[in-house]
Amino acid sequence: MPLSFILSVTDLKSTNPKSIAILGAGAWGTSLASIASANGHHVNIWSRSGSLSLANAVKGADIILSAISMKGVREVISQFSGLTLSPHTIFVSATKGLDPQTTCTPCQIWQEAFPNHPIVVLSGPNLSKEIEQGLPAATVVASSITSAAQIVQLGFSSNRFRVYTNLDPLGVELGGTLKNVMAIAAGVCDGLQLGTNAKAALVTRGLTEMVRIGVHWGANKETFYGLSGLGDLLATCNSPLSRNYQVGYQLAGGKTLTEILSHLPGTAEGINTTEVLVQRSQQQNISMPITEQVYRLLQGEVTPRQALEELMLRDMKPEYNY
């Protein structure tokens, strides 16, 4: 990243309002747009089905925030070809998922496409319906460039939406991505009415699994105990508002995955993420028992009860290998 990118927080305050382009008109994108607009920024919302062109949406944008689904990231990036952007434009990724071909995160894909621009990750325990209702929430914006994260922090902070900065974008991004797999498992747990003890054990061991693969990936362990890891895990594993939770809950109720997805609003990113994680864990010999059982369940290889039994009957072991 060029050292010339030194926009300061003071500069931002003195030149408000900013121009912000939101890519994606789903619940999450519109919620973030509403926060930025309420803060006095000029906001354009772009979607593939809308009338506003991408060129007009991002023209003069100080911040371009992507809230599109994982499967649409590369397609949208390809549409930037030929567009002129300010060298100071900051890209923000609010997508939670993994690329099935490369196992790259959305932030890594954006950085590859725009190597000379700052890339910021936004992630946390942020159920969009609660954000829409104006309920209080907190999130994390992470970047290797502190000033970029601070600019985004100022752009989206409000008295209902508290934004923290972080210097571990990979860890923040993986926290929001990996917890979707655990949310499917949590939905199964509740759907089978297994009780509070089982749910607590599942979420705790799920966090251990997230830390294990996240650290192996190169993220900081401590990040997973923050808002984008543990915080997002608790929110998503305990709320019927979560699409991933709903997938697990309805599978436990006897519905097929095809039936569930045909009526599910939006994308349950945990389904694709599970497949990518199993592929990566097998290649690199990383133990991920919960993820493996979620994968087998999604593939129709086991029933929810069989997946539970296989987890409970695994070989005995210490809780931690110190």
Average pLDDT of the chain, as a whole number: 93
Is the full-model pTM beyond 0.85? yes
Q: Is the confidence at residue 112, as pLDDT, over 50? A: yes
Q: Is the confidence at residue 3, as pLDDT, over 80? A: no
pLDDT score for 317: 85
With cut-offs at 50, 70 and 90, classify the pLDDT of residue 321: confident
The angle at the Cα of 49, spanning 81 to 42, to the nearest 5 degrees, equals: 75
Percent of the chain clearing pLDDT 70 (strictly above): 95
Q: Is the confidence at residue 212, as pLDDT, over 80? A: yes
All domains in the chain, ordered by first residue: 9-167 (3.40.50.720), 170-312 (1.10.1040.10)
User: Is residue 58 within 8 Å of residue 85, measured between CB atoms?
Assistant: yes
Q: Is the confidence at residue 122, as pLDDT, over 70? A: yes
With cut-offs at 50, 70 and 90, classify the pLDDT of residue 21: very high
pLDDT score for 165: 98
Is residue 76 helix, strand or coil? helix
Residue-wise over 212-232: b if at least 16 C-beta within 10 A, else e? bbbeebebbeebbebbbbbbb
pLDDT score for 148: 97
Q: Rounded CA gap, 69 and 173, in Å?
A: 14
Q: What is the mean pLDDT of residues 103-110?
A: 96
Q: Which residues are catalytic?
A: 179
- Per-residue pLDDT tens for 139-181? 999 999 999 999 999 999 999 999 999 999 999 999 999 999 9
